[in-house]
Copies of this chain bind each other. A is one copy, B any other.
Amino acid sequence: MKPVCLVIGAGAGIGGNVGQRFAAAGYHACLCRRSDEEGLKRLVDGIEGEGGSASGFLLNAVAENAIEERVAAIEADIGPIEVAVYNLGAQIGDRALRDTSHRAFEMGWRLGTFGLFRLASAVCPLMTERGMGTLLVTSATAAVRGNKGQHSHAAAMGGRRLLCQSLNAEFGPKGIHVAHVLIDGAVDAPDTLGKLLGPQRFQQLRESRGMAHDGLMLPAKIAETYYHLAQQHRSTWTFEIDLRSFTDRPWWNH
C-alpha cells in the first residue's frame, strides 16, 4: 500500500504540483479543492498518466466537519496519511480597514488559521500513534509582516505561523515533522494569481516577469523543496524556510 500525501488546496499552483511530486515518488496523492471538478480531474488524470496514483475530492474546508470527515475517509478507504499539506490561501487583495467587513476578516481566519487547526486536530493523533508523519504548511509574506490593506490576511497568516510553532512544539518530539514554508513572492499559478489578476494581466505578467525571466515562482520547482522537507532525516528537520525568485526582494529589504 502506498503512503498517502493529502493536499488541502490543490489547484494548478503549489498544491497540485506538490501532489504530483509526491505521486512521482510513490505516494498516493489525495487532492482536495473547493471547486472546479474538471480542473481536479485534470490533475488526477495527469498524475495517473505519468504512472502515479491519485484521488481527487471536492472539499469546502470551512464547512463543518468537512476536513475531519475527509481525513477519516481517506484513512479508512485509501491508507495512512503520511504527509499532509495545508495549502489554502486567504489573500483577498489590499483593502482599507473600512472595506474589510467582519465577515471577510472572519473568513480569513477560517481559511488561514482555523482550517489548519482542524486539519492538525484530525491528523496529528493518527500520526502520533504511528510515531511519524509530516505536516507541511504553505505560508505567505503576510505571516511575518502586516502590510497596508492586509488586515484580514496578515492576522490570519500571523496566526497560522504561530500555530505552526505550537504544533511543532507539541508534536515534533513525537516524530511529526511540522514545517512552515514562507512563500515570499508571486507564484506562476493560474488558479490563484491568475484569478486575482484576470487572464490578460496575468499573461502580461508572465511575459514581463515570468517565463525566461524566472521572476515568478514556478510551482513545480517549489514542490521540489516540499518534497525535500518531507525526506529530511529526523535528526535534521527544518521548521521554517523561505522561498522567492532571485529577482525579488526578500520581505525584510526595502
Q: A70: CB under 8 A from chain B?
A: no
Q: Are A117 and B163 in contact (CB under 8 A)?
A: no
Give the distance in Å from the alpha carbon of A156 to the alpha carbon of B160 in the complex: 9
Q: Are B252 and A144 in contact (CB under 8 A)?
A: yes
Q: Are B145 and A247 in contact (CB under 8 A)?
A: no
Q: Are B247 and A239 in contact (CB under 8 A)?
A: no
Return the CB mask of A212-239 against B: 1 if under 8 Å, else 0: 0011111001101100100111111111
Given A246-B173, A247-B173: A164 and B147 interface contact (C-beta under 8 Å): no
Could you tell me the distance in whole angstroms from the C-beta of A96 to the nearest C-beta in chain B? 6
Return the CB mask of A236-254 against B: 1 if under 8 Å, else 0: 1111111111110111111
Could you tell me the distance in whole angstroms from the C-beta of A226 to the nearest C-beta in chain B? 10
Give the distance in Å from the alpha carbon of A165 to the alpha carbon of B254 in the complex: 12
Return the CB mask of A24-39 against B: 1 if under 8 Å, else 0: 0000000000000000
Q: Are B236 and A218 in contact (CB under 8 A)?
A: yes
Q: How large is the interface on A (under 10, 10 to 19, 20 to 34, 35 or more residues)?
A: 35 or more
Return the CB mask of A148-169 against B: 1 if under 8 Å, else 0: 1111001111111111111111
Q: Are B244 and A241 in contact (CB under 8 A)?
A: no
Q: Are B97 and A120 in contact (CB under 8 A)?
A: yes
A225: chain B residues within 8 A (beta carbon):
228, 232, 236, 238
Of the listed residues A157, A215, A216, A253, the one surrounded by the most CB atoms of chain B closer than 10 A to its CB is A253
Stretch of A5-13, A40-48, A54-62, A106-114 contacting B (4+ beta carbons < 8 Å): A106-114
Q: Are A243 and B238 in contact (CB under 8 A)?
A: yes
Q: Which of these, B214, B228, B235, B250, contacts A215 with CB under 8 Å?
A: B235
Give the distance in Å from the alpha carbon of A97 to the alpha carbon of B168 in the complex: 11
Give the distance in Å from the alpha carbon of A224 to the alpha carbon of B224 in the complex: 13
Of the listed residues A106, A159, A218, the one surrounded by the most CB atoms of chain B closer than 10 A to its CB is A159
Q: A51: CB under 8 A from chain B?
A: no
A161: chain B residues within 8 A (beta carbon):
146, 158
Closest 7 CB pairs of A and B: A158-B162, A146-B165, A146-B166, A159-B159, A221-B233, A148-B169, A154-B162
> What are 9 A-B contacts defined by CB distance under 8 Å?
A109-B159, A142-B162, A146-B164, A146-B165, A146-B168, A147-B254, A239-B250, A240-B242, A251-B252
